[in-house]
Amino acid sequence: MISINNLSFSYGAQRIFSNTSLIIDNCKNGLVGSNGSGKSTFFNLISG
């Protein structure tokens, strides 16, 4: 399980995530979004 609490991130003045919180259970999950929506940024942030 992954637990994320109050994740925030900005590129300069552009806010990408603002106080995002979620729990990912031990099952198959996917992240879908348009180009440039922050999918890779999200995975980079949670992987350290």
Query: DSSP characters for 20-33?
Result: EEEEE-SS------
Q: State the total domains in the chain.
A: 1
Handedness of CA 2, 23, 8, 37 (dihedral sign): positive
Q: Which residues pair with 2 in a beta bridge?
A: 24
What pLDDT score was predicted for residue 44?
A: 93
In one-letter notation, the amino acid at residue 45 is: L
- Residue whose structure tokens are 């949670």: 46
What pLDDT score was predicted for residue 4?
A: 94
Low-confidence ranges of the chain (pLDDT < 70): none
What pLDDT score was predicted for residue 38?
A: 87
What pLDDT score was predicted for residue 48?
A: 83
Range of the domain at 11: 2-47
